[in-house]
Amino acid sequence: MDDAKQIESQDSTRDVDSILMAISELCGVPLEEVSSLYEDAKKGKSIAEMFKIPKESLEAGYALATSLYSSGRYKDAEVMFYTLCQYEENNPKNWLGWGCCLEKRGLYPQSVFCFARAADLATPLNPKPLYLLAVCCCNMKEFDAARKALSLAVDAGDEKNTADKRYRSLSKDLLDSIAAA
């Protein structure tokens, strides 16, 4: 490493150290704890993992969000799903729930983002978020984007899964109906 890069690296380390120290002082959290959380974040750990939030608590939060959604309390459910996405950013069902809430409130561009994230995280590729994304695109008159999502959805998922079959079929039907749009 040449001298300039070494000095830049040292400056960067000092900057991080001073920021972590400031966070520690402002929050009243020991510097070691702040540093540990920072290292966990660099390793890609979720907030739930960093703060050791039990899986049961996250599942209870999901159940509450789903119940709020089912009872038509979309804004309240949206807050819960948003929070769950912050705690478990790699869980596709949280993104799907958040997207459904946004879609019910007519916030189509935001719901498209959530459905795209849910589709991106699902393994194998899940046709449901792709179909829902396409419906939002149709509501926004973005038919090219809808066709692309539906084309993916028609072949996505597990052929033995009943829900996947349903969304593949819905996707095919919608794709056929907007073919000329």
Q: With 0.85 as the threshold, say if the pTM is over it.
A: no
Residue 14 shares a structural domain with residue 89: no
Handedness of CA 86, 92, 96, 97 (dihedral sign): negative
Residue 102 shares a structural domain with residue 69: yes
Residue 74 lies in a domain: yes
Residue 70 shares a structural domain with residue 34: no
Residue 103 lies in a domain: yes
Convert the pLDDT of each residue in 117-149 to its tens digit. 999 998 888 999 999 999 999 999 999 999 999
Residue 62 shares a structural domain with residue 25: no
Six-digit token string for 132: 């829902």
Give the mean pLDDT of 80-89: 93
Residue 26 shares a structural domain with residue 109: no
- Give the other-Cβ count within 10 Å of 75's Cβ: 10
Convert the pLDDT of each residue in 147-172 to its tens digit. 999 999 999 998 899 999 999 999 99
Handedness of CA 115, 117, 122, 123 (dihedral sign): positive
Convert the pLDDT of each residue in 19-54 to its tens digit. 878 887 888 888 888 787 678 767 777 778 877 888
Total domains present in the chain: 2
- Assign residue 102 the CATH number of its domain: 1.25.40.10
User: Residue 23: which domain range?
Assistant: 3-45
- CA atoms of 68 and 130, how far apart (whole Å): 23
